[in-house]
Amino acid sequence: MTTEILKGIRVADFSRVFAVPACAQILADLGAEVIKIEEPERGDEARYYGCNAEELEACGGVSPSFHALNRNKLSVGINLALEEGREAARQIVSTCDVVLHNFRVGTMEKFGLGYEDLRVLQPSLIYGEFSAYGPVGDLAKIGANDLALQAHSGLLHLTGEADRPPVRVGTAAIDLHAGMALSTAIMSALFHRERTGRGQFVETSLLRSSAHLMNYFYSEYWLTGKQRSRMGTANHLSVPNQVFPARDGYAVIIAPSDQMWDRCAKALNADRLVRPEFDTIANRQKHRDLLVGLLSGVTQQWPVDKLVQVLGDAKVNVAKVNSVGEAADDAQLEAIGGFLTQPEEDGGRKSVGMPFSMSEVDEIPFRSAPALGAHTRTVLVASGLPPQDFDRMASQGAFGSAFQKNS
């Protein structure tokens, strides 16, 4: 078995924040050499997201967000505003199989680092571009983030309670979905190159990702004209299918079929749930409010762990609403290898693993997220830049000062 399916693949990653770093981390986990090219003094802004100074220090100088999406990478600090910096970037790209970036549309072209520029240096290059709204159209050059596309896509319109304002999805779902999409596209392009010898331009966006997540709702609208709106944790497809209160917490109960609903009512030993209004899927939909009210009255008498156990034993779809800590420390997540743990001598940190496993991959490496610019000299010299040229460029400010401190 191997841990390095993508061994020998070199990636120049000009991206920052969430979506494309998530893509690059998957490539790195599979054995690609991922070179994270950052602004040399400040770096990827995600290094500092969501933390005060004390919290940053406790996390080793960078934020949990950065740790989560940047393991197994090398960091090179390059000032792309300088010609010397752009020269250094081209030197790295000339040895790479893949380029990734999430600058606004047209920015890499201004640096002389667009696809048409770089394919001259590396004809078999696979060039992955990520943007907010795509490369063409009226919104092409507008920047946006995950929440903006939750709004634009209609996802925000669907999330929250019917009589309250929209609520954001609690994680960067569109960003991370886009990262998975881009990693799939990059590996497909690598497979295509293996067959044909040809590189290609690969593009995705927050807009594409959000539309893919909203596929069902758009299809329903195009086919029927229906537009769904907020239902809290409920779902229009079946009843019950939402969060219910327990004595000491909450649980999700989903019983979409007649058989599962019968098992649910019997397991809870609740005669009030056995009535003609609830005997078919259509009737349960028609009497949604009555069913939810009666079932809530039953479930809130149960301790949540017992409720989950009893319904689970009855083969009803049920899950406790866990806190973040409960979910992160979940024994089932550990059982499936859902997180990685460093040896204590390397820091002992944990990190969520890849969202899949492979029978021919026995172990994923886990090197911590790199210090800013820590590999600048090493990577550039390994890319063929003579040491004296590196020193000249460094003296002209191409690499800032972080590489001297962190290398």
Q: 241-245 and 250-254: which strand pairing?
A: antiparallel
**What element of type H or E holds 254?**
strand 250-254
Q: Where are the domains of the chain?
A: 10-213+335-406, 241-245+250-320
Nearest to 90 by CA among 26, 12, 168: 12
pLDDT digits (tens, 9 = 90+) for 100-111: 999 999 999 999
- Alpha carbon distance 159, 343 (integer Å): 40
- Alpha carbon distance 81, 87 (integer Å): 11
H helices within 132-237, ranges in order? Answer: 146-153, 155-158, 173-196, 206-213, 215-224
Mean pLDDT (the chain) is: 96
Nearest to 28 by CA among 400, 392, 368: 368
**What element of type H or E holds 75?**
strand 73-77
Average pLDDT score over residue span 155-181: 97
Residues 101/129, Cβ–Cβ less than 8 Å:
yes
Q: 350-352 and 339-341: which strand pairing?
A: antiparallel
- Alpha carbon distance 182, 25 (integer Å): 11
pLDDT digits (tens, 9 = 90+) for 279-314: 999 999 999 999 999 999 999 999 999 999 999 999
H helices within 348-401, ranges in order? Answer: 376-382, 387-395
For domain 10-213+335-406, give the fold: Rossmann fold (3.40.50)
Is pLDDT above 80 for 321?
A: yes
Angle at 139 between CA 15 and CA 201, to 5 degrees: 45
Average pLDDT score over residue span 321-334: 98
In CATH, what is the architecture of 241-245+250-320? Answer: 2-Layer Sandwich (3.30)
